[in-house]
Structure 1
Amino acid sequence: MKILALLALSVALLFGAVDINHASKSELMSLKGIGAKKAEAIMKYRKTHCFKKIEDITMVKGIGSKFIENNKANLTVTKCKK
């Protein structure tokens, strides 16, 4: 599992920021402070909500402003599919 997370981190860093509206579980897990459970929580939240700005991710339980501080350079938000 650690190898998969490292691979996802490498891909995310090579190709730019992680789009929180469309990222896969492994891409989300490449971010500092995001494990499997938080990645799943993000994916569950975005099924019914759209992240319009990076700061909206704090609406997901367990994710706060410190997460944004640690990952701001690696986060992006694009239009939702809805």
Structure 2
Amino acid sequence: MPTPARLLALVTSVLVMLVMAPAAALADAPNTWEVEKEPLDVLGYLVLLVGIPGALFAVIWVIAFALSRKNYTAPAPGSENAH
């Protein structure tokens, strides 16, 4: 059973988070931000949503492949198990 102090701390922290978390969503955008002149077309969205993650996947795959090739050691001759 939680002590009254722990229960009070829990309730207080939950209430503070419920009040403070949405406060950031109510803030206005800074005046220094530039307004986007024209929205992205279909090709722009494809590059953003498919091209960038695909390129990131390819880079990570190449790095993993290169590192696994570096750590490969061939088995000694005659050490294969006969089935």
TM-score range, shorter chain: under 0.3
Question: Which has the greater radius of gyration?
Answer: 2
Q: TM-score, normalised by structure 2?
A: 0.19
Q: TM-score, normalised by structure 1?
A: 0.19
Say which structure is richer in helix: 2
Say which structure is richer in strand: 1
